[in-house]
Amino acid sequence: MSRLASAQRRALLRAIGAGTAAASLSQFSSLARAQDNGPIRIGILAPLSGGGGAYGAGMVNAARKAAEYINTQGGGVLGGRRIEILVEDDESNPTAGVAAARKLLDVSKVSAIVGVWSSAVAMAVKPLSIERGIPLLVTGSGDEVTQGDNKGLVWRFQARGSDWGAVFAHAALKDGARKASLLVLQTPFTLSMVDPFVNAFRKGGGEILDTVYYNPNQPSYRAEVEKVFGRQPQAVFVPSYLPDLSAIAREVYRGGFSDTRIYANSSSADAEGAFIKNVGKQVAEGIHHIQSIPPASSTAYRTFAKEAGIPAGTLAIFPSNVWDEISVLALAIERAGSADPKVFAKAIPTVVNGPGSAVENPVDGLKALRARQTIAYSGAGSQFRFTPTGDQLNREYGHFVIRNGANQLVDTLR
């Protein structure tokens, strides 16, 4: 081959190579643009089974309805990008929760994780979320969830457990109890309520007779029930989950300890009606339970209830919290002008705490942000503000008593 032919061949190969590279670069740019305009994936870890199984479906429905509302009525975020919800069952179990979170983070590539009903699951998942710089918005109440250096990524959409404990003590004192005992499930959420209850009850002039702890999934609770109720306290505080409270309530009924009032958290003594169904009207009769409740008369709650299909007169506690989680994420993304979790995470407290005009649904908030206005989101689950550590202020509590197979709201507490 002549030198001229060889030079021409090299020139042709260079031209082909440059063309291929240009084509590859063009394809990459097109892919990048498609991704930039694609949906923003939000994962929900929901308790579709296990101790929180009664709540999972409602939480998933709320997440999907919030995304649908934002996508259709609000035009999505960042100029039309849709919010997409991906669902995994955490089974109310830390081990299963970690596996589900890894799938959302590593396979689905979500930009945030919401839901997380169990505090134990939240604690197990938190290190993964922080390591990857992904916001974690939880409904678990255990104090430890928001403790430590969370890099501004962990935000609680529920009352903190230690705040609940004092509320239970005040309710029991208000009902006339002066001698109380505690029968406590050993989980992060339930344990966080013990000292605040004891301290508040004693401060109010009450006496604590016993504090007895038990483990999840015990074959029997008879010994613990006989020890605690046998001393005839006027009130027994039972921070628990649905399965164990159901078994304990049956033991209390069989033991004839009807003169002692039980105070339990609503997540176990209500569970969307599952508790009464589990134990029956006679066993459930007279049991007190307390839960932080949504502002049912607010525009925010009415909007949520309409869009999520919540029946009139129903207080959908955990679903309304999840609605707020999706709403706050959408507003933070719009406020930051970015779907990068490391960027929009910094805007989460800003769109809640303000300064700015109060908005009670995410669509109004998105419109205000696009008009260069500042906002303060007022939620369906609570008209809250965030502390610097990610906890919520201003939550209200409902005090319920089970009468004739139905929950009756008897007081509202703060």
CA separation for the pair 370, 164 (Å, rounded): 38
Q: What is the mean pLDDT of residues 387-395?
A: 93
- Give the per-residue pLDDT at 3: 41
40-158+297-383 and 161-293+396-413 in the same fold: yes
- Give the per-residue pLDDT at 157: 97
Which tokens in the block code for residue 147?
């403790």
Radius of gyration of the chain (CA): 26
Which tokens in the block code for residue 179?
């001698």
Q: Which residues, other chains included, contact 182 with Cβ-Cβ below 8 Å and sequence gap of 6+?
A: 194, 197, 198, 208, 210, 211, 212, 228, 236, 237, 238, 239
Q: What is the mean pLDDT of residues 155-162?
A: 92
26 pLDDT higher than 60: no
- Give the per-residue pLDDT at 161: 86
Q: Which residues, other chains included, contact 140 with Cβ-Cβ below 8 Å and sequence gap of 6+?
A: 116, 117, 118, 119, 120, 121, 122, 156, 158, 188, 189
Taking residue 383's Cβ as centre, other Cβ atoms within 10 Å add up to 20
At 210, the amino acid letter reads D
CA separation for the pair 295, 398 (Å, rounded): 10
**Cβ-based burial of 404 (10 A; exposed 0-12, middle 13-18, buried ≥19):** exposed
Query: Over the chain, what is the mean pLDDT?
Result: 90
Q: What share of the chain is helix, strand, coil (3-state, %, to 5)?
A: 50, 20, 30
Taking residue 103's Cβ as centre, other Cβ atoms within 10 Å add up to 15
Taking residue 373's Cβ as centre, other Cβ atoms within 10 Å add up to 12
- Residue 66, CA distances (Å) to 9, 84, 315 in order: 61, 10, 17
Q: What is the mean pLDDT of residues 402-413?
A: 93
Q: 161-293+396-413: which CATH topology?
A: Rossmann fold (3.40.50)
- Give the per-residue pLDDT at 37: 79
Flag the least confident range among 6-10, 208-212, 260-264, 308-312: 6-10
Flag the least confident range among 27-31, 157-161, 197-201: 27-31
Tokens 């008209």: give the residue.
Answer: 383
For the chain, domain boundaries: 1-29, 40-158+297-383, 161-293+396-413
For 186-244, the pLDDT digits (tens) are 988 899 999 999 999 999 999 999 999 999 889 999 999 999 999 999 999 999 999 99
28 pLDDT higher than 80: no
- Give the per-residue pLDDT at 216: 85
Percent of the chain with pLDDT over 70: 91
- Give the per-residue pLDDT at 191: 92
Tokens 């919540």: give the residue.
Answer: 310
- Residue 223, CA distances (Å) to 236, 345, 361 in order: 15, 48, 50
34 pLDDT higher than 90: no
Q: What angle do CA 83, 88, 92 make, to 5 degrees?
A: 130
178 pLDDT higher than 90: yes
pLDDT tier at 278 (50, 70, 90 boundaries)? very high
CA separation for the pair 12, 263 (Å, rounded): 84
The answer to whether 75 and 367 are in contact (CB under 8 A) is no
Give the H or E element holding residue 30: helix 3-36
Q: What is the DSSP string of 188-238?
A: HHHHTTHHHHHHHHHHTT-EEEEEEEE-TT-S--HHHHHHHHTT--SEEEE
397 pLDDT higher than 80: yes
- Residue 5, CA distances (Å) to 1, 18, 22 in order: 6, 20, 26
Measure CA of the first residue to CA of the last residue in the chain; give whole Å: 92
Tell which residue, 123, 161, 165, has the closest CA to residue 141.
161
For 46-86, the pLDDT digits (tens) are 999 998 898 999 999 999 999 999 999 999 999 999 999 99
For 312-360, the pLDDT digits (tens) are 888 899 999 999 999 999 999 999 999 999 999 999 999 999 999 999 9
Please give the residue that has the higher pLDDT: either 121 or 312.
Answer: 121
- Give the per-residue pLDDT at 267: 84
Q: What is the mean pLDDT of residues 164-176?
A: 95
Residue-level length of the chain: 414
pLDDT tier at 11 (50, 70, 90 boundaries)? very low
The answer to whether 318 and 382 are in contact (CB under 8 A) is no
At 322, the amino acid letter reads V
Flag the least confident range among 28-32, 52-56, 140-144, 321-325: 28-32
- Give the per-residue pLDDT at 36: 67
Global pTM? 0.82
Q: Look at domain 40-158+297-383 and name its CATH class.
A: alpha beta
Percent of the chain with pLDDT over 90: 81
pLDDT tier at 13 (50, 70, 90 boundaries)? very low
